[in-house]
Structure 1
C-alpha cells in the first residue's frame, strides 16, 4: 500500500464514521436505505484495501464485519452504537497497514529538457517498491498577442527506449493521487513563449499529490551573475511557490535561490509566501549533470550519421540561446551569419550547431520581425548540413544541425563549446573538462588601448591595457608600431604595466599585475627587468596582482607609486640602486577605511614634491623627492569605501576629487588651513566617479571613470557644467567611461573605456578628433600568433571553471587554429560542483519522506 492510498482510506473511514453517526436521525425506511448505501461504500473500501495492502489484513477483516453488521442493523440485531464502535476499531487498525509502495509521476513537456528529471525517474523505475510514471505532456505556442497557439506533444520517438512512457490522456491524476509529483515547467500561465496544458499547471498538480517536487530545467554557473543578482525571474516562479521541495545543484546556488525569492517577497510585501526556504530548497545536485556524465547515454541513428561526417575531425559545439537572441536582436542574427561563414572556410573543423529548441517559437511570439530571416538561416544551414546527401559527404561537409531531443551526444562528441554564456549547457559542458569559449556578438577587433602614455616630439609610447605589448604611435601618421613584449610575463593579462615615465633615455613601467619593473632603452630598443622585494606582510601578500599603479620621474630618480605594495620605490637611474620609502605606511593603515582598497590612484608633481591623494584613508601624502620623506595632511572623508581618487593644481591651490564626486580644495600649506568643499557633482555612480582631473585655463577638467558625464569646474565662479563632447561614450556597455586622459601641448589626449577610441580634444576650440590607430598586418599577425600560443596553453592546462571569452585577441579563427593544430587536450576534470548521483540522491530522499 502507498502512503497516499492509506491517506485515502483514512479519509473514507472518516466519512464512514460521519455516515454511521447520522443513522439514528432518520426514519425506519430511510435508515434501511442508508445502511444499504453504506454497505456499498464499505464494499468499495474493502476491495481497495485488499488490492493495495493484500489479503488478510485486520482492516479488511473488520470491514467485512462491518458489512455484515450493517445488514443486522436493518434487522434490529445490531445498534448504531455497535456500528460506530466497529468503525472506530477499523480506524485504529489503519495504523497496522504497512506502507511499502510509492507512486511517483514525472511530467515533462520538452524531451530536450527531460534530463532534469531522467536520472530521478531511472532511480525510481529500478526500485521494486516504486510505481514510476513518466508522462510527456502537451504544450502550446504563445502567439504574438500572448494567446494560445498550436498544441505540441513530444512523446513516442522523442525519447530513448529506457523511458516507459505513459499517455497523458490515460493517467488520471485525480484517481491515481500519486505520492510524489516531479515537474520541470514552473511558469504555469506566465510563460510568454509556450504554455504547458493547464491541467498540468503546478497549482493544479499540488491538489492531487502528496508531495510536489520541482527539479529545475536549468543549472547555474556558480561563478557568474546568477549567484549574485538578477535571477528573480528564474527562481521566484509559480512552480516554486507551490512546490513542497526544490532540488538545486549546490549550496551556493541554494543561497542564490533564497536571496532571489526573499527579494521578491520583500518587494511584494509577502514575506514567507514561498514557505520555509532553508528546508524547502535542497542542494542534492542536478540530474542534468548525471545526464552529461552518465555512460548510459545511447547512440541514436542520427548520431551514427554524424560520426561518418566527422570522420576524425575536430568538432565545435555551437550553442545559441533564446535570452541572448532577444537581447541582441539583429546583431545576434548577424553574428550567426558570421560564424557560419567562418566555418565555410574551415573544412578541417566541424560546426555542430544546436539552436535552442524554442528559438523558432520565440521568434514568432516575441521577434516576428526576425522570424523570416531566422527560418532562412536555418533552412540554408540544414541544406548545407544534409548528411544524407552522398555528394555532400564526398565534399567533406562540415556542418551538423542538431535538432534532436537530447543534447548530450553533442556534448560528448564535440571538442570545444562555443556560444552564449547565459545557458545551462555552459555549466554542464564545464563538467566534461573540455574548453569553453563564450561568443561576443559585438566588435571583436584587436583592441589597442592604454592607461598612460609618454609623449616625445614624434611619438606616443605606451604599454597595452589588455595584453603584454609595447607600442609606439607616430604623432603625424597615427600608425602603430608593435615593439615587442615585456620579457618573462604572461601574454594575455590585463594591466601588466598601467603607467610609464621617461628618465635619461629610458622608459620605466610600473608593474601592477606584472612580476617586475620593466625598462625599455629608447636608443638600443631593448627590454630589461628590475626585480624588487615583494611584501611578506599578510595584509599585502594577497594583493600581489596589484602592486604599483603609477610611475613618475624627477631628476635622476624614478618613483613607483604603490597601489597595494607597502612602499614607495625609488630607483636611481645613475647608480642603478633601488630603495624604498615606508615612513607613511603605519599611519595610512591606522586610518584605513577599507581593506580591499589600495593606497594611491593618482599623483600631482609640485616642484620637487609628489602630492598623493590616498584612496583607502582620508589623507593626502606629500612626498619629498629630494629627502625621500613624507608628510601627511588630514582630509574630510567617508567612514567606509574609497576616499580620494584624483588631484590637480594650478600651482598654488590643489583640487581633489572624492570617490562620490565631492571636490575638496586646499593649498597644503598647513594642517589647520581651511578646506573648501563643493558638494557631490551630478552623477549616478558612486564608485570612483571621476578620474583623472586636470587643470587648464582657470578650469578643472573632470573626466569620468565610472560616472557618465565629463564636467568642467570654473574655479572663479565654482560653477560646474557638462562637457558634452564626450557624451557619446555612454552608448557603449563598459565599466570604464574613459581609461586615460592627459594634457599634452594644450590638447587633451583621451582613450575611452567602451569604444577604445583615441581622442584628441582642443579645449580652446572645443574640437574633438578621433584618431584611428592602425597596425600593420604583419604586426597584427605576430600578436595573434602569441595569442594562439597562449590560448593553446590555457586550453591544455585549464581548470574546469575557466572560460575563454571571444574578443579581438582570442577571436574565433584563432580558436579554430588552436583546435586544428593540437592532437588532444590535457583535460583537467574538476566536477566538484556536480553530484553525479543526483538522481538517486533526490529519489531516495523523497522516498524516505513517504516511506519513513
Structure 2
C-alpha cells in the first residue's frame, strides 16, 4: 500500500477535524484529531488536478470555509454542514496570487502577492467582488523603485478598523481603512517582514537582520525589542506571537527550536524549546511552512516535513503525527500505476494524474469524460 504524505500552507480547525487544501496537487482533505490518515473530500473545481499550491489562506464565516488562491483562478468555498464545494471565478485567463486574506465585517480582503494581481475585496454573503484600482498606484508612489525590483504583499493584520500590511523588499508600512478605503503609508527605519498585532502594538520580524521590532500604532513610534546579537546563533526569524506576556519566536528554515523570550528590566532572557519529529529524520531545509494558533497550542504545518508538530505553550509539551492520504485511495494509485507501467513504490501523485488523464485538464473534466473507460474508472474509484 502506498503512503503519500500531505503538505499544506494553511488549515482550519472545526470541532475534531482539521481542514486543508493539499499543496502538492488539487485536493480538499480533513484530518480527524488523533489520526494520521486524512479523508479526501473532493477536487477544487476549475483547477488542474496536478496544480500545486492552489490556495494559501483559509477564512471561515458562518460555517463556510473560503480558500484564497495562490496559484488558482478564484475563490473556493466549502460548506462544513452541507459538505458542498463551490467556486467563484476571479480570473479565467491566468492564476491570481494573494499572500494573505483578512476577514472583516462579512468581507475578505485579499492581499496581492505581486503587482499583476489586484487588491480584491470579496463580499461573502453577496458573493460579489470589488477591485481597488488605486492600491498599487499608492504603493508605487510610496517609494522609489529600482529597475527590476520585486514588490508584493507580505504580512497583514487587522487592527483598530484598519489592515496593516508590509511590502516585500521595502521599509513601507501600509494602513488600509476598511470603512473609507483610504490608504496611508509610513516609512520605517527597518525592513519589516511578518507582522503580529497585540494590545495596540505591531510586532515585526525584519528582512535586513535577525531582530524583532515593536511599533506603537497610536504613537507611531518604533523600538527594538530583541537585538540581532541576541538572535545571532538562531539566524533570521520567520514569525512570532505573544502568549501570557511572553514572546515566542519561530525561526526560518528547519525551525528545530521555538524561542521563548522574556524581559526582566533591561535584560532579555531567551530559552530554546526543541522541536522533535521530522527534524530528527528529514534532510530537507524547510520542515514547516506555516503555523496555526489554537489558544495555547501551536500547530506547525508541514512543508517538506512529514508531520504536524503540535506545541503546547502553556504545558511546554510536544506532539507529532504524520499526515497521509486515506489508504482507501491506494486502489486509485494502483490503477494509475498499472496503466502507466510505473514501478511499484512510486508515490508521485502528480505524475500519476498527469499521465493517466493526458488531455483531461481539470477536475470538472473527469466527470465529463465518463463515457471514456479510464475517466469512468477513476471517477468511480474516487466517488467510492
Q: Which TM-score applies when normalising by structure 2?
A: 0.77
SS in 2 for 1:723: strand
Spell out the pairing of 1:341-352 with structure 2 (5 A cutoff): none
1:480 aligns with 2:38: yes
**Distance in 2 of aligned mates of 1:811 and 1:662:** 39
Find the counterpart in structure 1 of residue 25 from structure 2. Answer: 467
171, 183, 190: which is aligned to 1:618? 171
1:555 aligns with 2:105: yes
Find the counterpart in structure 2 of residue 570 from structure 1. Answer: 121
- The Cα RMSD (Å) is 3.6
700, 714, 736: which is aligned to 2:247? 700
155, 159, 172: which is aligned to 1:602? 155
**Distance in 2 of aligned mates of 1:677 and 1:594:** 34
**Distance in 1 of aligned mates of 2:146 and 2:243:** 32
256, 260, 282: which is aligned to 1:712? 260
User: Once the 2 structures are TM-superposed, how far is the Cα of residue 578 of structure 1 from its aligned partner?
Assistant: 0.5
Spell out the pairing of 1:30-179 with structure 2 (5 A cutoff): none
| Structure number having the greater helix percentage | 1
1:669 aligns with 2:224: no
Find the counterpart in structure 1 of residue 65 from structure 2. Answer: 507
Deviates more, 1:758-767 or 1:612-621: 612-621
SS in 1 for 2:275: helix
Cα 1:758–1:562 change in 2 (3 A) is: same
Cα 1:509–1:818 change in 2 (3 A) is: closer
User: Once the 2 structures are TM-superposed, how far is the Cα of residue 693 of structure 1 from its aligned partner?
Assistant: 1.8
Spell out the pairing of 1:104-503 with structure 2 (5 A cutoff): 445-477=3-35, 479-503=37-61
Find the counterpart in structure 2 of residue 809 from structure 1. Answer: 348
State the Cα deviation string for residues 567-589 of structure 1 (Å, max 9, x = none). Answer: 32111122222012344423433
| Kept after mapping to 1: 8 A contact 2:253/2:285 | yes
User: Once the 2 structures are TM-superposed, how far is the Cα of residue 487 of structure 1 from its aligned partner?
Assistant: 1.2
State the Cα deviation string for residues 714-751 of structure 1 (Å, max 9, x = none). Answer: 25554433332359627533242311211103211112
**Distance in 1 of aligned mates of 2:147 and 2:198:** 31
Cα 1:818–1:485 change in 2 (3 A) is: closer
| Kept after mapping to 2: 8 A contact 1:618/1:644 | yes
| Structure number having the greater strand percentage | 2
**Distance in 2 of aligned mates of 1:461 and 1:610:** 26
User: Once the 2 structures are TM-superposed, how far is the Cα of residue 486 of structure 1 from its aligned partner?
Assistant: 0.6
Rg larger for:
1
**Distance in 2 of aligned mates of 1:784 and 1:520:** 29
User: Once the 2 structures are TM-superposed, how far is the Cα of residue 455 of structure 1 from its aligned partner?
Assistant: 1.4
**Distance in 2 of aligned mates of 1:550 and 1:629:** 19
Cα 1:595–1:700 change in 2 (3 A) is: farther
| Kept after mapping to 2: 8 A contact 1:509/1:517 | yes
**Distance in 1 of aligned mates of 2:222 and 2:331:** 58
**Distance in 2 of aligned mates of 1:682 and 1:507:** 40
SS in 2 for 1:588: helix
Cα 1:566–1:607 change in 2 (3 A) is: same
Q: Which has the higher contact order (CA 8 A, sep 6+)?
A: 2
**Distance in 2 of aligned mates of 1:700 and 1:610:** 22
State the Cα deviation string for residues 596-646 of structure 1 (Å, max 9, x = none). Answer: 645223322324332222223211222333333332222123xxxxx4321
Find the counterpart in structure 2 of residue 208 from structure 1. Answer: none
User: Once the 2 structures are TM-superposed, how far is the Cα of residue 683 of structure 1 from its aligned partner?
Assistant: 5.0
1:652 aligns with 2:200: yes
| Kept after mapping to 2: 8 A contact 1:703/1:738 | no
State the Cα deviation string for residues 486-517 of structure 1 (Å, max 9, x = none). Answer: 11212223211121111232211111111222
**Distance in 2 of aligned mates of 1:762 and 1:770:** 12
Find the counterpart in structure 1 of residue 307 from structure 2. Answer: 757
Cα 1:668–1:788 change in 2 (3 A) is: farther
**Distance in 2 of aligned mates of 1:461 and 1:811:** 21
| Kept after mapping to 2: 8 A contact 1:480/1:776 | yes
**Distance in 2 of aligned mates of 1:468 and 1:783:** 15
SS in 1 for 2:81: coil
**Distance in 2 of aligned mates of 1:514 and 1:678:** 38
State the Cα deviation string for residues 184-231 of structure 1 (Å, max 9, x = none). Answer: xxxxxxxxxxxxxxxxxxxxxxxxxxxxxxxxxxxxxxxxxxxxxxxx
Count, aligned residues: 347
Cα 1:594–1:666 change in 2 (3 A) is: farther
| Kept after mapping to 2: 8 A contact 1:603/1:611 | yes
**Distance in 2 of aligned mates of 1:580 and 1:711:** 40
SS in 1 for 2:249: strand
